[in-house]
Structure 1
Amino acid sequence: MDLQNLTFFQMAQERMDWLAQRQKVVSQNLANANTPGYAAKDLKEIDFKDALSRTLAKDSQSVAVARTDPKHLSGSLPKSGPYRVETVRRPYEYTLDKNGVDVEEQMAKAANNRTQYEVAANLFSKNINMIKTALGRGGS
């Protein structure tokens, strides 16, 4: 049984991919917290209706991580596609060096990402156990 053919698992995988990409963007924001002129970025929120229609149409795009070396992750951020990076524009929150990164906000986003990722992973795991139980193999 291929779990990737089940809509729930496709959508859970897409959500987890989006959260992983968002964590990468938040990490880059935090890494540039003291860079003059750097503007914080964030990913466009997934539209559930669009994600569902892509999944049901079997036309969803998977997120591939580009690597420059097998041991390193790429530092590039997606400019288009389902996980588009957008610059956060809040001119009233800039520091004297024109840096737009609010460290507390970025830390809250990182914590929120972790929580949402854990929820998606737990749902994924619970559904696998439910399928195992239904097949008579027992869920653990």
Structure 2
Amino acid sequence: MITRLNDSLDFHGQALGLRSERQRLIASNIANADTPGYVARDMNFAQALKEATGSAPSAGTLATSSAGHIAGTPGTRGEPNLLYATPSQTNLDRNTVDMDRERANFADNSVKYEATLRFINGSVRTMLDAIRGQ
């Protein structure tokens, strides 16, 4: 039972970290909406979560062939699995930030972040109730 709870909390902890990183990316896009030449960034959340939990081979992780090499870690800044947003319309200053898309992504990601927090809280509360015998 403890192992299942641990696995669940580890998974949701990884998801929470990735949601936080995605929120940072979206906020950066919004902050640079008026910056000429700025290219909006985003991540494929499902793929990043698979890589972070070990469910899929990491496209952005480099193999270490020597003990002196530094292993690439999923979920870190500057990771190659970040994507460039496709511009929905041409812009004279070559900025690809679409504020409607960014606002929608920000709200969607915020709701999912909150849902993950609630799930973690519910899991911990259930375990505490089982320990207390209530």
Give the TM interval when normalised to the shorter protein. Answer: 0.7 to 0.9
Q: Is the 8 A contact 2:48 2:75 kept in 1?
A: no
Unaligned stretches of 5+ residues in structure 1: 56-60, 65-76
Q: Deviations over 1:5-58 (max 9, x none)?
A: 711101101111111000110011011101111111101222388358627xxx
Change over 3 Å in CA distance of 1:22–1:48 after alignment to 2: closer
Percent of aligned pairs with the same amino acid: 20
* Matching residue of 1:6: 6
Structure 2: gaps (5+ residues)? 56-72
**What amino acid does structure 2 have at the position aligned with 1:20?**
S
Is 1:26 the equivalent of 2:26?
Answer: yes
- Structure 1 residue 100 displacement after superposition: 0.6
The list of structure 1 runs, each at least 4 consecutive aligned residues, that deviate by more than 4 angstroms after superposition, is 2-5, 61-64
Query: Residues 97, 135 of structure 1: CA spacing in aligned structure 2 closer, same or farther, 3 A cutoff?
Result: same
Q: Is the 8 A contact 1:3 1:9 kept in 2?
A: no
Q: Partner of 2:78 in structure 1?
A: 78
For 2:116 and 2:100, locate their aligned partners in 1 and report how far apart those are by CA, in whole Å: 24
For 1:19 and 1:53, the matched residues in 2 are separated by: 14
In the alignment, what sits opposite 1:96?
92
Change (3 A) 1:100 1:94: farther
In structure 2, the CA distance between the partners of 1:116 and 1:95, relative to structure 1 (3 Å rule), is: same
Give the number of equivalent residue pairs: 116
Are 1:17 and 2:17 counterparts?
yes
TM-score scaled by length of structure 2: 0.73
Root mean square deviation, CA, Å: 2.9
Q: Does the CA-based 8 Å contact 1:39-1:99 persist in structure 2?
A: yes
